[in-house]
Chain A
């Protein structure tokens, strides 16, 4: 069977504007969550988020580009630039014709929607900018990455809420494994931190007003983040033949649907996806050393996720590490799995496991090694990345050390 490896990674998120900055922050257990700096924040009940700060779009894009690029597209382009530069690939000829982009996002151009609804409803304007639709559409980021890098193969956007980017990367993985293409650019992007974006989440009453504390008995909800993570997935022989640096192997992927509740997670659905990814990778359960948890910091997710891990791994659940980096970069919704995959790369490549920060008090319902508050050095051969979306749609990736 064709094997798939990662030869490039890029990101921008609240922890940093590159992979190196992000991993350094994760190693140090730095928190990217703070008071939101957005319009009408005083009318929000939840006033915190993991925002990309000190970001000047004009430093990266010209006026014509900004007119077309919503914030979620900008993040995707910046992350893709970094990932493709690291891979050393230039997309031309037959390679370009088959290489594509599969990206996850949930909100798409939500800032553009928010601004323009405000213009017509609140300000009473009867005219909007001509590019509102091409700017807000969910596939805009995918299309601009494709245009920017001459990626002419199969390209589309996946929207499965909090699992979007894992579903996207799983799709890219399977396309390469199946022989449809040798290279895919894949990941996820999200920019939901605008008044309407946060207000909608407030309604569900699952957001924390002070911090994201996954697995801690004192956890009181999730905190939204924003940003993008992008990767170059490449067929193993193709990468080896050109002497590319291999960051990790994507060894397995599985998805499942709870088919039970639109917001409450299911242990069985999560467990089927976790076990499925390990089985797809063809590796023993005992080889899994680290799981980057979905770990949202809500009461419901964290206990369900721990129960699912305990069910799948049995005794080995006590020997593996599981951490939630959402405690640092927040929940990037449709982009979250992509940024979290960076923590898996760090564990596999550098032997450093990112911590779950904000951890205050053990919860008997989350009695696993959650790597509390401080990063840990450990050799990890296999890492999993969990994503469990609202709607009960689960997607888990299994990565192996190169």
Chain B
């Protein structure tokens, strides 16, 4: 299950960044990937749709919702947490 989440999240971020999933490293930031605020909102929407979860995120204050977007690894971890909490 955990690997599925990771694979899917990376796919979503790769599509947004116009990269191959294999080109994305876990320690990269959204800035490294060239994903801006609009791209982030679109990625979150894609994540919500893919996992049928609700991601707490306000573009005015990206840190507020406890959804860590500091790196690819952080996002994968946050999505795993939400999937476990909302689908468990």
Contacts and interface: CB of A to CB of B under 8 A. Distances in A.
Interface of A: 203-206, 208, 219-221, 261-264, 298-300
B58 A220 contact: yes
Contacts of B44: 205
A300 B61 CA distance: 10
Contact of A298 (B41, B45, B57, B60): B60
24 contacts: A204-B41, A204-B59, A205-B41, A205-B44, A205-B58, A205-B59, A206-B58, A206-B59, A206-B60, A208-B58, A208-B60, A219-B60, A220-B58, A220-B60, A220-B61, A220-B64, A221-B60, A263-B38, A264-B38, A298-B59, A298-B60, A299-B60, A299-B61, A300-B60
Instruction: Kindly list the 4 A-B residue pairs having the minimum CB-CB distance in the complex, ordered from nearest.
Output: A299-B60, A205-B59, A221-B60, A220-B60
Contacts of B28: none
Contacts of B70: none
Interface residues of B, number: 11
Given A206-B58, A221-B60, A261-B38, 18 more contacts: A203-B45, A204-B41, A205-B44, A205-B57, A205-B58, A205-B59, A206-B59, A208-B60, A220-B60, A220-B64, A221-B58, A221-B59, A262-B38, A263-B38, A264-B37, A264-B38, A298-B60, A299-B59
Nearest to B36: A264
Contacts of B60: 206, 208, 219-221, 298-300
A298 B59 CA distance: 9
B54 to A, nearest CB: 8
A177 B38 CA distance: 41
Contacts of B57: 205
Nearest to A221: B60
Nearest to B54: A45
A385 to B, nearest CB: 24
Nearest to A209: B58
Contacts of A221: 58-60
B88 to A, nearest CB: 22
Nearest to B37: A264
A219 B58 CA distance: 11
Nearest to B64: A220
B28 to A, nearest CB: 22
Contacts of A220: 58, 60-61, 64
A169 B68 CA distance: 44
Nearest to A206: B59
A208 B37 CA distance: 17
A196 to B, nearest CB: 17
Contacts of B38: 261-264
Nearest to B41: A205
Nearest to A296: B60
A299 B61 CA distance: 7
Contacts of B41: 203-205
Interface in B4-37: 37
A16 B45 CA distance: 37
A22 to B, nearest CB: 27
B44 to A, nearest CB: 7
Interface in B59-88: 59-61, 64
Contacts of A299: 59-61
A263 B36 CA distance: 12
Contacts of A261: 38
A47 to B, nearest CB: 15
A205 B44 CA distance: 10
A180 to B, nearest CB: 40
A21 to B, nearest CB: 31
A261 B37 CA distance: 11
Q: Which of B38, B41, B57, B58 counts the most chain A CB atoms within 10 A?
A: B58
A184 B44 CA distance: 46
A152 to B, nearest CB: 44
A364 to B, nearest CB: 16
Contacts of B58: 205-206, 208, 220-221
Contacts of A264: 37-38
Nearest to A298: B60
A236 B56 CA distance: 54
A210 to B, nearest CB: 11
